[in-house]
Structure formats: C-alpha cells, structure tokens
Amino acid sequence: DGGITQSPKYLFRKEGQNVTLSCEQNLNHDAMYWYRQDPGQGLRLIYYSQIVNDFQKGDIAEGYSVSREKKESFPLTVTSAQKNPTAFYLCASTWDGESGNTIYFGEGSWLTVV
C-alpha cells in the first residue's frame, strides 16, 4: 500500500473549475484505477487503465478525464461538467489486472466544492 501516493490529500474546487488529482505508484504495477467514495457509501469505479497509453471508462466516468502517459502515473481530472464532485477519491493499482491479484489503494484525496 505504501507504494501508491496520492496528492493533494485535501482539495477545494470552485464552481466551474477543473482540478487534477495526482496518483503515482512505484510498485511496477501495470493496472491502475480511480474510485469515488461518497460518505457512507461504497466505492464506484470512475476509470481504469490496463497498460500505458490505454484507459477505459468505469461506471461513473461522466465529468472526469484521465491520462496514462507513464506506467507509474494515472492522474484524474475532475472537470466542471461533474456537477457533484464532493467526495473521497481513491487511486488503486494491481500487478496486471488479472482476476485474483490484490488491488492496493492509495491514501485518498478529499475533494470539496466551495
């Protein structure tokens, strides 16, 4: 778990602004994920990436965008199109994304709209 670094830990967004959450891992994992967690709720998949330069939409991708230019990095941009972005965002990674491999989470980023 210690190999996944998310920043910032707390972020405030004004209406109409785009913000980017950083996720870096030094575990040499191929697969990376972004999940959103609302208070008292489970985790929902936003985007995932199986390899560099490739990513796919998850269940709630609208209003978000990602890139995967480097193996170790998978930043998430919350755009102004996301109308209710206040949530806890978790980045995760795993060895190659094949079923049964442990998924490890970063420490999370709290995003609040002000």
Partner 1 sequence: GENVEQHPSTLSVQEGDSAVIKCTYSDSASNYFPWYKQELGKRPQLIIDIRSNVGEKKDQRIAVTLNKTAKHFSLHITETQPEDSAVYFCAATGTGFQKLVFGTGTRLLVSP
**What is the distance between the alpha carbons of residues 110 and 84, in angstroms, rounded to a whole number?**
13
Considering only 11, 27, 103, 113, the residue that binds partner 1 (CB under 8 A) is 103
Stretch that binds partner 1, among 18-26, 60-68, 77-85, 94-102 (CB under 8 A): 94-102
User: With respect to partner 1, which residue has the nearer C-beta, 63 or 97?
Assistant: 97
The one-letter amino acid at 113 = V
DSSP label of 73: B
Q: Does 3 contact partner 1 by CB under 8 A?
A: no
Nearer to partner 1, 15 or 102 (CB): 102
- Least distance from partner 1 to the Cβ atom of residue 29, Å: 12
Residue from 66, 27, 36 nearest 48 by CA: 66
Q: Which of 14, 16, 83, 102 binds partner 1 (CB under 8 A)?
A: 102
Residue 70 DSSP one-character state: B
Cα separation of 89 and 21, whole Å? Answer: 9
